[in-house]
């Protein structure tokens, strides 16, 4: 009798659909993953995890590690990490991933000789493998698109949902668009490159592009023309010469942003044209990056320029700032993020944090429900 | 029959830990006497003359670094595993943190790290020349961090060092300049850097994963080898804490959380790793020794005449078991021999690093006594 029950149970296991993809975690906890040692057969070497995107269709994070070698990696919600492949540039200085909203990741990356190249990676294969054979991935190649910009360093990239194009900003203040369908790069305009912030964001209703430059004032690209707005990001008195933004995110007709010189979080209301300084989350001197959940909570990472010591904070209208503490994890390895570089939200309030220090390590922060 | 002698470091009556001990070619033994548990405490560099059997203080680290005693900052309270003698007998060293500031009760690295008033200002790099009895400070080399371990590579004339708390690997030249930061190499701390016969320097991270520095190329190689760890965990808190290179070109090592002495050999095909087993014969019925060699960990490794002498260190546990059990492993025959527990009347010290004196004696310094002592064993 006992034997029969056992057989029945086993058969049920294989026949019924199983809900994969939900991490067994305690909310509010942080998990650490050094990419070299947590990935089987990883070729990822040391480097900085500078950019992360999230694929809504498969609930998978993709990240970029730059260094002597540059790799794209995959992180799924069950903490599976895979090395997607090598991006064929040497000694990359900066690189950014952007999701085209459909089936591709675009990787814009600058190598050691300041040449910026465009690569794409199609997600179809990984998505199919994910749905059929959970945990076992094969990947499409990371393709070089034969487009390069010499002596220009990539500063910021984003997808403009209004026209469907990828926009990017370089250290010279040049703004380009890239069409993945036509594989075409188009020069659009130029902003003042003095003290240029490495940020860009879009108004999805009219396609206007926003950024920050010239001692912290906003610029707007509208109909291929640049306007410098009389609106400044917040900074301490007489420190506008170093005013730089860490990120800008469009959310419900507002731009939320953060600063690198005084660690301010701010809100720019497009309609009334005013910037509101929301304050400073902790004693660190830089807010490196922020991301926003659908419920309006803003999560961000802070650190000080040289000392580092990454912390996480949460901001909401209802509760103001909440300090979530230093980025320290005990599982699967005991690790710290002293120099966090970016944070990206995924499904159900989990965040992936990329770290610097030439370490190639990432952190998963699982936020508690509101 | 072994003879044990204890030399109390009387010039350091309030010092509580000695992590590093080094011998220079001229025979002097140097000890870093630390004040780890005393807020505001300052480390002292101590010299032992094996001919006269005298200990003397060389330098106070507050004076060397020019820091004011008793200010709000975490003091220059430690000299960790950083004493590096040169062929000429000059001693290089760095300072280390984890001593709380005066009036504080405990060291909290992460709280202090961001506190401008209480933070450790940084490790100083210094040089002591015994010919002129002169100590020279090259200034802060790792801002806000201490140097947990340092090695001199005389071939490339560069130092390689790891910091605490961030575990970054640095390299600088013999004047403490041309500082290179390789980035973070371990989750937490590094305790041992070993120069091998291939000219490369080996160490492990917090999980015992082997990493190799090539000083010629100034490159790091993260090897796919994890040194041995207890079965009940995944190797956490298991650095290679001690190591010596044998004449047979094996690196003999003591891991922080593993009871047995191990050895490994980097080859072109990969790294061979061997567990040398329990430090005593398995037939040994002695209750204390069985506890020590199954619960303790090998420390203070010394190579003498192709024999590895080591301490089986029992730091935690019932009081009667805690102590430093001297044992040996013959690299030619594989013979293991328990020698004796370090002891002075009823006092059993806990020792960390060991050196071979020019008089042929084995020396260790203790890390859990006020005042600390230098221990010598003649065989």
Sorted by where each starts, the structural domains of chain B and their CATH numbers stand as 3-378 (2.130.10.10)
From CA A227, how far away is CA A221, in angstroms rounded?
A: 6
Alpha helices in B48-155 (DSSP H): 61-65, 109-113
Residues of chain B short of pLDDT 50, as ranges, are none
Is the minimum CB–CB distance between B6 and chain A shorter than 8 Å? no
Structure tokens at B97: 């943190």
Alpha helices in chain A (DSSP H): 2-15, 35-38, 124-132
Q: Tell me the pairing of strands A225-232 and A320-326.
A: unpaired
Over residues B259-297, the pLDDT tens digits come to 999 999 999 999 999 999 999 888 888 999 999 999 999
pLDDT at position A7 is 46
Are B184 and A338 within 8 A, CB to CB? yes
Is the minimum CB–CB distance between B217 and chain A shorter than 8 Å? no
From CA B9, how far away is CA A206, in angstroms rounded?
A: 78
From CA A178, how far away is CA A174, in angstroms rounded?
A: 13
Does position A262 have pLDDT exceeding 90, yes or no? yes
What domain count does chain A have? 1
User: In Å, how far are A109, A120, A261, B43, B81 from B20, measured between CA atoms?
Assistant: 46, 53, 41, 12, 5
Tell me the nearest-neighbour CA distance from A131 into chain B, angstroms: 31
pLDDT at position A193 is 94
Instruction: Enumerate residues 6+ apart whose C-beta is below 8 A from B196.
Output: B202, B245, B251, B266
Does position A25 have pLDDT exceeding 80, yes or no? no
pLDDT at position A6 is 45
* Mean pLDDT for all residues in chain A: 89
Comparing A12-26, A268-282, B23-37, the range with the smallest average pLDDT is A12-26
* CATH classification at residue A253: 2.130.10.10
Residues of A in contact with B185 (CB under 8 A): 359
Q: Are B49 and B58 in contact (CB under 8 A)?
A: no
Give the number of beta-carbon pairs within 8 Å between A and B.
Answer: 54
User: Which residue of chain A has the CA closest to B122?
Assistant: A307
Q: Find the Cα–Cα–Cα–Cα dihedral B353, B359, B360, B365, rounded to 10°.
A: -20
Structure tokens at A162: 């209004």
pLDDT at position A3 is 44
pLDDT at position B282 is 80
User: Which residue of chain A has the CA closest to B120?
Assistant: A307
pLDDT at position A321 is 97
Nearest by CB: A306 against B143, B206, B234: B143
Dump the DSSP string for B143-211: ET-EEEEEEEETTTTEEEEEEETT-EEEEEETTS-S-EEEEE-SSS-----EE-TTS-EEEE-TT-EEE
From CA B256, how far away is CA B151, in angstroms rounded?
A: 19
Q: What is the predicted ipTM?
A: 0.85
Does position A4 have pLDDT exceeding 70, yes or no? no
Are A334 and B209 within 8 A, CB to CB? no
How far does chain A reach from its first CA to its final CA, in angstroms? 48
Instruction: Band the pLDDT of A14: cuts 50, 70, 90.
Output: very low
Nearest by CB: A333 against B143, B166, B187: B187
Residue B106 burial class via C-beta count within 10 angstroms: exposed 0-12, middle 13-18, buried 19 and up: exposed
pLDDT at position A130 is 62
Q: Which domain holds residue A301?
A: 2-366
Are A358 and B183 within 8 A, CB to CB? yes
Is the minimum CB–CB distance between B110 and chain A shorter than 8 Å? yes
Is the minimum CB–CB distance between B207 and chain A shorter than 8 Å? yes
Does position A307 have pLDDT exceeding 60, yes or no? yes
Does position A77 have pLDDT exceeding 80, yes or no? no
Are A338 and B220 within 8 A, CB to CB? no
Over residues A119-148, the pLDDT tens digits come to 999 998 888 766 555 556 678 999 999 999
What mean pLDDT do residues A177-186 have? Answer: 95
């Amino acid at each position: 009798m006992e034997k029969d029950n056992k057989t029945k149970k086993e058969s049920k296991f294989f026949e019924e659909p199983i809900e994969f993809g939900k991490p067994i975690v305690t909310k509010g906890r942080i998990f650490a993953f050094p990419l070299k040692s947590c990935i089987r057969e990883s070729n990822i070497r040391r480097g900085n995890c500078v950019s992360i995107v999230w694929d809504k269709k498969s609930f998978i994070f993709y990240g970029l590690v730059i260094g002597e070698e540059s790799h794209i990696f995959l992180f799924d919600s069950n903490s599976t990490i895979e090395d997607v492949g090598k991006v064929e540039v040497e000694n990359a200085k900066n690189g950014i991933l952007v999701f085209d909203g459909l089936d591709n990741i675009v990787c814009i990356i600058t190598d050691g000789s300041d040449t910026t190249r465009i690569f794409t990676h199609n997600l179809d294969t990984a998505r199919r493998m994910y749905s059929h054979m959970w945990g076992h991935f094969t990947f499409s190649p990371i393709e070089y698109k034969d487009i390069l910009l010499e002596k220009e360093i990539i500063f910021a990239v984003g997808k403009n949902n209004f026209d469907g194009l990828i926009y990017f900003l370089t250290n010279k203040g040049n703004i380009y668009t890239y069409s993945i369908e036509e594989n075409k790069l188009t020069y659009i305009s130029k902003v003042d490159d003095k003290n240029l912030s490495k940020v860009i964001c879009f108004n999805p209703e009219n396609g206007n592009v926003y950024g920050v430059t010239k001692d912290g004032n906003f610029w707007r690209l509208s109909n291929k023309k640049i306007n410098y707005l009389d609106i400044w990001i917040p900074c301490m008195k007489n420190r506008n010469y170093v005013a730089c933004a860490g990120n800008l995110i469009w959310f419900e007709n507002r731009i939320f942003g953060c600063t690198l010189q005084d660690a301010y979080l701010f809100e720019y209301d497009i309609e009334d044209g005013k910037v509101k300084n929301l304050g400073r989350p902790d004693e660190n001197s830089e807010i490196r990056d922020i991301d926003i959940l659908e419920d309006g909570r803003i999560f961000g990472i802070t650190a000080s320029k040289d000392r580092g010591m990454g912390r996480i904070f949460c901001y909401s209208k209802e509760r103001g700032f909440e300090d979530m503490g230093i980025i320290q994890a005990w599982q699967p390895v005991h690790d710290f993020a002293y120099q966090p570089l970016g944070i990206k939200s995924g499904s159900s309030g989990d965040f992936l944090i990329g770290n610097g220090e030439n370490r190639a390590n990432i952190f998963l922060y699982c936020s508690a429900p509101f | 029959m072994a003879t044990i002698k204890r030399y109390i470091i009387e010039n350091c009556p309030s010092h509580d830990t000695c992590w590093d001990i080094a011998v220079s070619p001229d025979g002097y033994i140097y000890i870093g006497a630390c004040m780890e548990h005393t807020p505001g405490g300052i480390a002292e560099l101590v010299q032992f003359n094996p001919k006269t059997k005298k200990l003397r203080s060389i330098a106070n680290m507050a004076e060397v670094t020019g820091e004011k005693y008793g200010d709000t900052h975490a003091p220059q309270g430690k000299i960790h595993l950083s004493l590096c003698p040169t062929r000429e007998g000059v001693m290089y060293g760095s300072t280390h943190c984890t001593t709380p500031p005066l009036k504080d009760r405990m060291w909290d690295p992460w709280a202090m790290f961001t506190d401008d008033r209480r933070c450790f200002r940084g490790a100083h790099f210094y040089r002591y020349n015994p010919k002129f009895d002169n100590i020279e400070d090259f200034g802060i080399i790792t801002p806000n961090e201490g140097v947990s371990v340092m090695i001199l590579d005389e071939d490339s004339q560069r130092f390689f060092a790891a910091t605490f708390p961030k575990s970054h690997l640095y390299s600088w030249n013999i004047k403490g300049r041309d500082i290179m930061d390789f980035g973070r190499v371990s989750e937490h701390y590094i305790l041992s850097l070993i120069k091998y016969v291939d000219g490369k320097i080996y160490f492990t991270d917090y999980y015992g994963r082997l990493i190799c520095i090539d000083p010629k190329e100034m490159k790091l190689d993260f090897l796919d080898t994890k040194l041995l760890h207890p079965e009940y965990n995944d190797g956490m808190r298991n650095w290679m804490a001690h190591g010596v290179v044998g004449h047979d070109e094996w690196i003999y090592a003591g891991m922080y959380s593993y009871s047995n002495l191990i050895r490994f050999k980097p080859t072109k095909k990969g790294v061979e790793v061997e567990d040398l087993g329990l430090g005593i014969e398995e037939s040994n019925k002695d209750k204390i020794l069985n506890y020590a060699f199954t619960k303790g960990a090998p420390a203070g490794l010394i190579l003498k005449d192709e024999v590895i002498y080591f301490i089986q260190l029992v730091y935690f546990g019932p009081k009667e078991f805690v102590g430093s059990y001297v044992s040996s492993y013959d690299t030619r025959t594989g013979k293991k021999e328990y020698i004796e527990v370090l002891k002075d009347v009823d006092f059993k010290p806990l020792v960390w690093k060991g050196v071979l004196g020019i008089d042929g004696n084995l020396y260790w310094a203790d890390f859990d006594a006020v005042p600390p002592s230098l221990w010598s064993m003649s065989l």
